[in-house]
Structure 1
C-alpha cells in the first residue's frame, strides 16, 4: 500500500467512523483518533464481508458495502465506549 492508499484509508475510515458515531445514541467519550481507528477497521472488515457476500462490486455506488461498514463502525464505537466506561 502506497502513501495514497494510506491517506485514502484514513479519509474513508474517518468518514465511516463519523457516520457510525452518529448512529450511536448519546454522547461518546472517545477521541477523534479512536473514531478514525474504528472507522478504518470497520472499512476493512466491512469490505471483506461484502466481498464474501458478493455485494462489493455493483453498478454505481456500493450502498450495501457502505451500510455494512457503517453498521460495523457503530458497533465498534458502542463497544469501545462501553469498554472505556468500565475502566
Structure 2
C-alpha cells in the first residue's frame, strides 16, 4: 500500500518539475501530470537498468536524472497531444 502511495508522490513531483522546466504552458490537468510523471519514473528506471546504473552505492543521481528526463519527454509529448485532443471541433 505504501509503495503505491510513494509511486504517486514521486510521479507528482516529477510531473510538476517537468512542467516547471519545460518552456511555455503545459495545459494538462494535474491527474495527467501525475500519470506522466509516474511513466517518466518508470521510463528512467528502465533506461538506468539498460545502461547498468540502476543500483549504485550512495544516491542514484544518474537514475534520478533519467527519471526526470523521462518525465520531461512524456509531459512535453502529453501536453501537445492533450492540446490537440482538447481543441478538435
TM-score by length of 1: 0.89
Judge conservation of contact 1:47–1:69 (CA < 8 Å) in 2. Answer: yes
1:85 offset after TM fit, Å?
2.1
Match of 1:54 in 2: 52
Structural mapping, 1:1-87, within 5 Å = 3-87=1-85
CA RMSD of aligned residues (A): 1.1
1:67 offset after TM fit, Å?
0.8
In structure 2, what is the Cα distance between the partners aligned to 1:82 and 1:60?
37
In structure 1, what is the Cα distance between the partners aligned to 2:10 and 2:44?
12
1:17-43 CA deviation, whole Å, 9 max, x = no partner? 111112210111001111100011111
TM-score by length of 2: 0.87
Gaps of 5+ in 2: none
> How many corresponding residue pairs?
85
Gaps of 5+ in 1: none
* 4+ residue segments displaced more than 4 Å: none
